Amino acid sequence: MNARYEAWMDKAEDDLQFAEIGLREGFHAQVCFLSQQSIEKSLKGALVFLGKAYPKTHSLRELSSLFSELNLRKWKEMLSVIDGYYIPLRYPDAAPGMKASGPPNKQEAKEALSTAQEIFEAVTEYISKKK
């Protein structure tokens, strides 16, 4: 197995585990941020496994567009939502980019985490078929 791929996926899984704890404890903004991080690391890990260079970006939309065979289209809308969390949830002075309703609520955090878990599993399954 490709050690670099494993390292990326280990980090992606760590983010998922911390997001699960955050959801239980009510840290909804952090759950959304960690979900974004997990998806980004999963997709970059898959690119590493395939021997492809990954772009220096945090855009989930851009990264997901590199995987036509992985069929990430069903998550397209959620990837856009989760992409929108990256900057505003990371930097306190980025509030103007935040949606009008304020920080993510519990339902939004659940949806982000569920999407991250599904994509992690999809990437893992995709790579296992490539071995």
Q: Is 125 exposed, middle or buried (0-12, 13-18, 19+ CB in 10 A)?
A: exposed
pLDDT tier, 1 (very low <50, low <70, confident <90, very high otherwise): low
Structurally, how many domains does the chain consist of? 1
Assign residue 14 the CATH number of its domain: 1.20.120.330
What pLDDT, in 10s, does the model give residues 49-92?
999 988 999 999 999 999 877 888 899 999 999 999 988 888 77
pLDDT in tens, 83-100: 999 888 887 776 654 554
Domain region containing 22: 3-130
Q: CA-CA distance, 46 to 112, in Å (whole number)?
A: 20
